[in-house]
């Protein structure tokens, strides 16, 4: 029976650090990532300085659904991440009149919107026709704090390839820990 060689302590330490780093990068890249909320566009659902976790693997199995909170690359500056609510999915017809969102001709019930505005969607470079149909692989995203949200009304659609994943847990601040609705 051969005696097993014992590694020096410094080699064990380096190997442990390298494996921990590799594992952390795999988890962050493919499974779960933490994000910080810098603005008030999602108040009251998400407050300024909230910290949330995003399930990055989710899009491998499911498509974004109406009403879910998603982090995605901001179409006007792809180095920034935004968090908004999916309001309309591919194939949906959308219109907004006096702050009320109509999906497929029916007014939506948005209990999560506490700060309504009087916005009416008009024809523009993003929406040459009103009402419009959400194109394939695109999503219409709105903030819950409608009067203070830079969202699809102003920059168009979020592409499926830019969707990082749904927000599934708020871990900070501790008094608001839980699943944001």
Query: Which residue in 74, 29, 78, 33 sits closest to 52, CA to CA?
Result: 33
CB 64 within 8 A of CB 58: no
pTM of the predicted structure, to 2 decimals: 0.83
pLDDT at 172 over 80: yes
* Per-residue confidence band for 24, with pLDDT thresholds at 50, 70 and 90: confident
CB 171 within 8 A of CB 177: yes
Cα–Cα dist 150/158, whole Å: 13
* Per-residue confidence band for 3, with pLDDT thresholds at 50, 70 and 90: low
Its sign, for the CA torsion 124, 108, 148, 181, is negative
Q: Is residue 4 within a helix (H) or strand (E), and if so which, with residue range?
A: none
Assess whether 149 carries a catalytic annotation: no
Contacts of residue 46, Cβ cutoff 8 Å, sequence gap at least 6: 37, 52, 69, 83, 144, 167, 170, 180
Residue of 7, 39, 41, 114 marked active site: 41
Residue of 65, 68, 73, 84 marked active site: 84
Q: Could you report the per-residue pLDDT of 29-57, keeping only the tens digit for each?
A: 667 888 999 999 999 999 999 999 999 88
Assess whether 41 carries a catalytic annotation: yes
Cα–Cα dist 70/64, whole Å: 8
* Per-residue confidence band for 2, with pLDDT thresholds at 50, 70 and 90: low
Share of the chain above pLDDT 90, in %: 60
pLDDT for res 127: 87
Q: Could you report the per-residue pLDDT of 68-82, keeping only the tens digit for each?
A: 999 999 999 989 999
CB 163 within 8 A of CB 139: yes
CB 170 within 8 A of CB 52: yes
82 phi and psi, to 5 degrees? -120, 155
Identify the structural domains of the chain with CATH numbers, from first to last.
Answer: 9-176 (2.10.109.10)
CB 69 within 8 A of CB 85: yes
Q: Is residue 16 within a helix (H) or strand (E), and if so which, with residue range?
A: helix 9-26
């Amino acid at each position: 029976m051969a005696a097993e060689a014992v590694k020096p302590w410094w080699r064990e330490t380096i190997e442990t650090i390298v494996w921990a780093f590799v594992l952390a990068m795999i988890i962050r890249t493919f499974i779960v990532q933490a994000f910080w909320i810098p603005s008030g566009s999602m108040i009251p659902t998400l407050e300024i300085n909230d910290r949330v976790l995003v399930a990055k693997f989710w899009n491998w199995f499911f498509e974004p659904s109406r009403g879910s909170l998603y982090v995605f690359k901001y179409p006007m500056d792809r180095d920034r991440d935004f968090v908004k609510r999916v309001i309309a999915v591919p194939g949906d017809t959308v219109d907004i009149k006096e702050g009320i969102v109509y999906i497929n001709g029916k007014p939506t019930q948005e209990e999560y919107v506490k700060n309504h505005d009087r916005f009416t969607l008009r024809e523009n470079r993003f929406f040459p026709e009103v009402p419009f149909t959400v194109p394939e692989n695109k999503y219409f995203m709105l903030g819950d704090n409608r009067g203070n949200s830079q969202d699809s009304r102003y920059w168009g659609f979020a592409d499926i390839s830019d969707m990082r994943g749904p927000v599934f847990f708020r871990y900070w601040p501790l008094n608001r820990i839980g699943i944001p609705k």
